[in-house]
Amino acid sequence: LLGFSRHQLDAVCQQAGVGWETDPSNHDRRFERVRVRAALASLTGMDDQLRRLAAAASYIDDHLMVAVAASQHAVKLASDGSAMLDRSVLDLPQGVFRRVLSRVTQIVGGNPHPPTHVALDRLWTRLQAGSASTLGACRFRPMAGQGWQIIAEVGRNPPSVSVKAGETILFAGRWLVTSQIDGMVRPCCVLSGQGDAGWRGLSSWKGLSAAVRAPLPVVESLDGTPVYPHLTKTPVRPDTGLVAQAVFLPFAEGAATRGLAGSKSSCAVPEAGVTRNQGAGPDINPAHNT
């Protein structure tokens, strides 16, 4: 939209019958952006120069997105909510590395806000040294000869969401959890010690490390019994006998999602029957992921 003037955008909204909000801070000269805009507006011919700059920025961004899309092979998502990051990501140009890792941390960590360039550059330095690191509610664990495993961190204030029997809720911005019982959905680490062996009977949980299990959603029944959901890439019909199931958001069928580069895909979060308790999760194209 940088190539359009305010008057053009107003006209489009009026023609389409769409309302809009005006941010009062846009006229508050205490903010640097307001002072810069006023200074630019006073310069002769600046409008045309800014439009050319916007067009150039858009052209560069288009090519950057293509490069990011071509780099998706370096990231493999898993149905347990983790991701594997190949060492080849360190060979990517700085701008591509930033974009890829920004999206990955949002996806795995469930954080709607991307990390800063400074934080991403610090991450690159630590990964280059082969070190473990943290960023955007994610832990980067070195895996011998493989790269890094990226795991979500629960944090100091673990999420907790109520769920009713037959309901599907969005948990921690990352999981679609369906339960056939009333209860509370909490991270596994919060319920440790309460029938902790219950996950051992589920094939989708076998082989998962304690670090990977820690942020996984668990349904706590009204009597305090933990119910470990079946982790799946494809939602299972409720008549199959499963008490609870959880789908990592990137794999959710029909989700209105975007790829790492921002291109739309055919997967979307089903609107019907979904309670968005934790806000919208990050977008991703799950193609080529395992």
Percent of the chain surpassing pLDDT 70? 83
Mean pLDDT score, 86-114: 91
Per 3-state DSSP, what percentage of the chain is helix, strand, and coil (rounded to 5)? 35, 20, 45
- Token pair of 198, please? 């219950």
Range in 89-98, 141-150, 204-213, 247-256 with the lowest mean pLDDT: 247-256
Q: Is residue 286 part of a domain?
A: no
pLDDT (mean) for 127-131: 92
Do 61 and 140 share a structural domain?
no
Task: Among 152, 174, 195, identify where a domain stops.
Answer: 152
Greater confidence (146 vs 126) lies with 126
Q: Both 92 and 62 in a single domain? A: no
Q: Within a domain: residue 114?
A: yes
The per-residue pLDDT for 117 is 93
| pLDDT value of position 279 | 35
Q: Give Cα 89 distance to the centre of its chain.
A: 19
Share of the chain above pLDDT 90, in %: 46
Do 80 and 97 sit in the same domain of this protein? Answer: yes
Give a yes or no: residue 290 inside a domain.
Answer: no
Does residue 284 surpass a pLDDT of 50?
no
> What average pLDDT does range 259-263 have in this prediction?
40
10 and 54, same domain (yes or no): yes
Q: Is residue 125 predicted with pLDDT exceeding 90?
A: yes
Q: Which residue has the higher pLDDT, 123 or 45?
A: 123
Mean pLDDT of 253-270: 37
Lowest mean pLDDT among 157-161, 207-211, 234-238: 234-238
Distance CA 12, CA 223 (A): 55
Q: Is residue 262 part of a domain?
A: yes
Tell me: do 102 and 167 sit in the same domain. no
CA 240 to chain centre: 30
C-alpha span between 127 and 9 (Å, rounded): 43
What's the pLDDT tens digit per position in 10-49?
899 999 999 888 888 888 999 898 898 888 878 877 777 8
Contacts of 55 (CB under 8 A, 6+ apart): 3
211: in domain:
yes
Tell me what pLDDT residue 83 has: 95
Question: What pLDDT was estimated at residue 152?
Answer: 95
Q: In terms of domains, do 177 and 271 share one?
A: yes
Does any domain span residue 195?
yes
**What pLDDT is recorded for position 44?**
77
pLDDT of residue 181: 94
pLDDT at 239: 60
- Looking at residue 238, what is its pLDDT? 64
Q: Residue 281: pLDDT band by 50, 70, 90 thresholds?
A: very low
- How far apart (Å, rounded) are the C-alpha atoms in residues 103 and 278? 19
Phi, psi (deg, nearest 5) at residue 29 = -70, 0
Domain boundary among 66, 83, 101: 66
Domain count, the chain: 3
Final residue of a structural domain among 66, 88, 108: 66
pTM metric for this prediction: 0.72
Question: Domain residues for 218?
Answer: 161-275
- Tens-digit pLDDT profile for residues 52-71: 887 888 878 887 788 878 88
Q: What is the pLDDT of residues 145-196, one digit of tens each?
A: 789 999 999 988 899 999 999 999 999 999 999 999 999 999 999 876 544 5
What does the mean pLDDT of the chain come to? 81
Same domain, 175 and 246: yes
pLDDT of 261 > 50? The answer is: no
Residue 26 lies in a domain: yes
**3 state SS of 173:** coil
